[in-house]
Amino acid sequence: MRTISIVIPVYNEQEGLSLFLDAARPAVARALALIGPGARADYLFVDDGSSDRTADILSILSRLNPDVRYLSLSRNFGKEAALAAGIDHATGDAVIPIDVDLQDPPDVIVDMVREWQAGAQVVNARRADRSSDGWFKRWSARGFYRLLNRLSDYPIPENVGDFRLLDRQAVEVIKQLGEQARFNKGLFSWIGFRVATVDYVRAPREAGVTKWRLGKLWSLAIDGITASTTMPLRIWSYIGGAVALMAMAYAAWLVVRTMLTGVDVPGYASIMVAVLMMGGLNLLSLGIIGEYLGRVAREVRQRPLYVLARAPEEVMPDTPEVK
């Protein structure tokens, strides 16, 4: 019988763990009813190096609930790596990554499973309404996806997060992608397969605070662009060509003008403009090449994407006893 694994990356979410389970259980039960008797679900939490009581609470929850498992990373590796760890260790025929803060409503799982039963291998959940996110997050996300999709070789759907259903076949492909600069949304789109989409309304965060800082989001955005595109690298040959052509035209004009009107006063302004513009363009192109090169260096080191402090099967000796 078919099984579903719910994968939940968590980082300092001690308040949200039980809330999440309580909210998810009824929805998951309805999803299982769609599949038929004997269908099962399990919850795999990924503790992304939390410094609060998250690991202790997960330990207790996993003892109380046979369908709850968790693994711990040795430090905070970030959501993308945590999610990769969860997907690697999930056992279900379908895997559903979901945020613990209930911003991804568990009810959507029912719609996802319906599409899965109908034959879809990847079911995207699209946020039809993001009014719960701040205007800056919405505005920046929108601009980012516009840019990304213009540059990328394959479309990455706007307003679709990591929340989605992945069939076992898709999961096996994802597991083989060992990229260090992880941008899951890009990978999930790159793999292809039969894709369906369900719409939902993004809820406000239920407990705790967002773990994203502007800097982290910026890094994720650069990772997303460099992981999905090569266009920013190629564009410099065209810009270089265009600038060279303009320079030649200007040179020709200078020759003609000198012949017509004689030697000019020194062209301080035009030289400054040309030098500064070329310097700026050089640095910009070097910087972009550097972004890609840095990631190449990271891939060459071949380090694992994450380090496990605890595998899902283990029982930690120092976890508190449940009486």
Residues 123 and 115 sit within 8 Å (Cβ to Cβ): yes
Read off the tokens for 93.
Answer: 């025929």
Q: Is 153 exposed, middle or buried (0-12, 13-18, 19+ CB in 10 A)?
A: exposed
Residues 316 and 63 sit within 8 Å (Cβ to Cβ): no
70-99 mask for Mg ion (x: CB under 5 A)? -----------------------------x
Q: Which is nearer to ligand UDP, 48 or 115 (CB)?
A: 48
Q: Which residue ranges make up the site for ligand UDP (CB under 6 A)?
A: 9-11, 13, 48, 76, 78-79, 82, 99-101, 103, 210-212
Q: Which is nearer to ligand UDP, 39 or 55 (CB)?
A: 55
Q: Which is nearer to Mg ion, 130 or 168 (CB)?
A: 130
What is the nearest approach in angstroms of ligand UDP to the Cβ of residue 157? 17
Residues 203 and 128 sit within 8 Å (Cβ to Cβ): no
Q: Which is nearer to ligand UDP, 100 or 191 (CB)?
A: 100
What is the nearest approach in angstroms of ligand UDP to the Cβ of residue 216? 7
Q: Which is nearer to ligand UDP, 79 or 89 (CB)?
A: 79
What is the nearest approach in angstroms of Mg ion to the Cβ of residue 124? 18
Euclidean distance between the first and final Cα of the chain, in Å? 34
Q: Which is nearer to Mg ion, 114 or 211 (CB)?
A: 211
What is the nearest approach in angstroms of Mg ion to the Cβ of residue 104? 8
What is the nearest approach in angstroms of ligand UDP to the Cβ of residue 171? 19
Task: Match 């694992």 to its residue by tokens.
Answer: 304
What is the nearest approach in angstroms of ligand UDP to the Cβ of residue 223? 14
| Residue 13 near which of Mg ion, ligand UDP, none (CB within 5-8 Å, type-dependent) | ligand UDP
What is the nearest approach in angstroms of ligand UDP to the Cβ of residue 257? 58
| Residue 79 near which of ligand UDP, Mg ion, none (CB within 5-8 Å, type-dependent) | ligand UDP
- Decide: helix, strand or coil at residue 43: strand
Element of type H or E holding 79 = helix 79-89
Q: How far apart, in whole angstroms, are the C-alpha atoms of residue 290 and residue 292?
A: 5
Alpha carbon 90 to its chain's center: 18
Q: Which is nearer to ligand UDP, 212 or 250 (CB)?
A: 212
Walk across the sheet containing 3-10 and list its strands: 195-201, 122-129, 160-167, 94-97, 3-10, 40-47, 68-73, 308-310
Q: Is 92 exposed, middle or buried (0-12, 13-18, 19+ CB in 10 A)?
A: buried
- Report residue 39: phi and psi, to 5°: -70, 140
| Residue 211 near which of Mg ion, ligand UDP, none (CB within 5-8 Å, type-dependent) | ligand UDP
| Residue 78 near which of ligand UDP, Mg ion, none (CB within 5-8 Å, type-dependent) | ligand UDP
DSSP string for residues in 10-32: ESS-TTHHHHHHHHHHHHHHHHH
What is the nearest approach in angstroms of ligand UDP to the Cβ of residue 110? 20
- Interaction residues for Mg ion, span 98-117 (CB under 5 A): 99, 101, 103
| Residue 100 near which of Mg ion, ligand UDP, none (CB within 5-8 Å, type-dependent) | ligand UDP
Binding interface with Mg ion (CB under 5 A)? 99, 101, 103
